[in-house]
Structure 1
């Protein structure tokens, strides 16, 4: 499986063992790699810049220093510039996940994904651009029956015809549609992918109940678009929407100039990664890693009747 990802340039000196440990906020110089915000733009960062300088490990109580990606001082909460794991790491309260934690987990999720279909799929990428749909032929050259044979993919297919792609059409839930949803949730929760995700979220304090109930709420609660109860996170991401590709395509006679998606992964892997990110890094980039490739997942929260639901989730490439 191959992944496209963003380009993050590292200074060649970083390969010689130079590290950001104890140097977060340091811009570096002609003989040392950098460990501050500017080094990412300049291509002069040390190799472990993001992993070290986005965490409070070994930095609890340090004074504020300009140029750091995030802070671990006592005032960071009031200034809203704390590293994500400051509470987990510095207060003894088990809530938090570092960039390293998320990347390590998502590699494990990919390794545990047995229901994907990537080996059976062949893409025809065709035109290249962002102004229009430049592909005259279908994206997939072949989709053999074996690619859709896994139990969770078959249950996903049964769900997809429950939704209207038109946001001006009100959605309702018939008893047979609820039964299909329940069967899908039961199936994905039996997978190792979801079990690993549930254990991680509970251990790190992002989940107090069971993951199945949280998935039902996050993904299947209907909310309003165009002032009509016409959408849900599941419909937007799975019914309207691995290897990762970024494509321009036509949807309901309108061209979407740029959209990204996994190809060949299982429904449970997509849902697990997106759920992980919307609970740990909502409304911003969430660092993940698959097959050694680092990239971000972008999520957007949809607020409805006091609940925070999935508004959107996609690979940011």
Structure 2
């Protein structure tokens, strides 16, 4: 009997031990699983899937490493053409105050940028939805003199005329060769910024036009010096950017103060070397007279006069389309080729930079020193699959370059500016600029 009782006790004790061990195993597995979730170990095998073999005309950049990691995130979008076809017939849009970006199939992220020096920018973002990456620190763009640009003409104060002497006189070779003239403009851009000294960019990783993965962990611009925004032509240019409704087909209302801003900008840039050279060039070609007032009226009309786009009169201008950008009802960004506008929209959280587009030339990968970039981004939740921009150039240089190509060039203008072979694509809209932008030449 004692043996039987002892046996029953052993069995009972053994069963309890096994039961406790099973509980411990379950607890251990639970802790292990939670540890893997926290550390991300469970996703090690799904972090990156190699893309298909690249088309031969594009560079295979799989071995290039960025100082920051990228995330793979699918962006469901329809494939778009490599470069914008710049059509001008979209239906009318709601006004800016009513606009809220269309909900995408993926959740919008918050904006990520860092600047030095930096402060938290809690200013008004004009009612636009933040679509960028998680915010670290934001930069408040200095607007010290912007209000003064709206004052009457007799209250305006301008920079002194640039003294460049005969350098602004175009040579016979330059008058006969558009590329030589554009190279001269590059040399005369005394206000062009220096990468690493005046600003810093991080290009992130590269991609093909049709790839929708976000290849940039952060913003394109990591820092821009406050001194940049106090340069007279830069400050006056920036003050113009908020004068427009970005929806194609919405009628623009230009106030008297905004007209004064336009006139002040033209007056300011007319004191710089690139615009002085442009005037001499166009006068030599008899496109304008030698009168500075006639020339300023020509520039004002070319860039700021409103015309019909998308069937609505007074809904667009060359300045708005090329520098500010417009959003089509087909959920496409049109225009928007200016780096200052890009930076300003990044600071607001309205732009989400998604990586550079692989250059056609093998071995030419953009870096922090590059001043001609082909990129992909979203603006207020709307994709721009491919866009080229000149980074760090002055507003007067771009106005001079694009005006020169419009009057003296054709639709395709294959030129050399500094170290960059580029095609300045120029679409005409009657006697107006429909669109103009740079494309890196192969």
Give the TM-score band, short-chain normalised: 0.5 to 0.7
- Quick check: 1:117–1:148 contact (8 Å CA) kept in 2? no
The residue that corresponds to 2:255 in the other structure is 174
The residue that corresponds to 1:158 in the other structure is 239
The residue that corresponds to 1:299 in the other structure is 426
Question: Residues 6-60 of structure 1, C-alpha deviation per residue, up to 9 Å, x if partnerless?
Answer: x9xxxxxxxxxxxxxxxxxxxxxxxxxxxxxxxxxxxxxxxxxxxxxxxxxxxxx
Q: CA separation in 1, counterparts of 2:188 and 2:203?
A: 28
User: Structure 1 stretches (4+) deviating beyond 6 angstroms?
Assistant: 96-100
- Quick check: 1:118–1:147 contact (8 Å CA) kept in 2? no
Q: Report the count of equivalent residues.
A: 218
5+ long unaligned stretches in structure 2: 1-56, 58-171, 326-335, 337-369
Q: CA separation in 1, counterparts of 2:242 and 2:400?
A: 22
- Farther off after superposition, 190-199 or 207-216: 207-216
Q: Indicate whether 1:276 and 2:414 are aligned.
A: no
* Shift of residue 98, structure 1, vs aligned partner: 7.5
Q: CA separation in 2, counterparts of 1:214 and 1:287?
A: 25
The residue that corresponds to 2:300 in the other structure is 216
Q: CA separation in 1, counterparts of 2:174 and 2:185?
A: 17
Normalised by the length of structure 1, the TM-score is 0.64
The residue that corresponds to 2:201 in the other structure is 123
Question: Residues 126-153 of structure 1, C-alpha deviation per residue, up to 9 Å, x if partnerless?
Answer: 1311233532411111112022221000
Normalised by the length of structure 2, the TM-score is 0.46
Is the alpha carbon distance of 1:102 and 1:165 closer, same or farther for their aligned partners in structure 2, counting shifts above 3 Å? Answer: same
Provide the secondary structure at the position in 1 that maps to 2:191: coil
Provide the secondary structure at the position in 2 that maps to 1:246: strand
Q: CA separation in 2, counterparts of 1:248 and 1:292?
A: 23
Provide the secondary structure at the position in 1 that maps to 2:407: helix
Structure with the greater alpha carbon radius of gyration: 2
Q: Indicate whether 1:255 and 2:331 are aligned.
A: no
Is the alpha carbon distance of 1:99 and 1:243 closer, same or farther for their aligned partners in structure 2, counting shifts above 3 Å? Answer: farther
5+ long unaligned stretches in structure 1: 1-6, 8-95
The residue that corresponds to 1:316 in the other structure is 439
Computed over aligned residues only, the root mean square deviation of the Cα atoms, in angstroms, reads 2.3
* Shift of residue 246, structure 1, vs aligned partner: 0.4
Q: Relative CO higher for 1 or 2, CA cutoff 8 Å, sep ≥ 6?
A: 2
Q: CA separation in 2, counterparts of 1:164 and 1:230?
A: 9
Q: Among residues 185, 189, 192, which one is paired with 2:273 in the alignment?
A: 192
